[in-house]
Structure 1
């Protein structure tokens, strides 16, 4: 049970990291273009 929660936490962290990379690579350059 604890292991499952730990795995979900890692999955959430990876998802947040991917979202952060997405924003830095796509959203910020778009703002700089405008």
Structure 2
């Protein structure tokens, strides 16, 4: 039970980090291209 919760939290954190990184990269790309 505890292991499952930890896995779910890790997955959520990883997804959030990936999304933030992608957004930051996209914003940087727009700045450089413009």
Length-normalised TM-score, structure 1: 0.74
Tell me how large the CA RMSD over aligned residues is.
Answer: 1.4
Name structure 2 gaps, 5 residues minimum: none
- Structure 1 ranges of 4+ moved more than 6 A: none
Number of residue pairs matched by the alignment: 31
The TM-score with structure 2 as length reference comes to 0.74
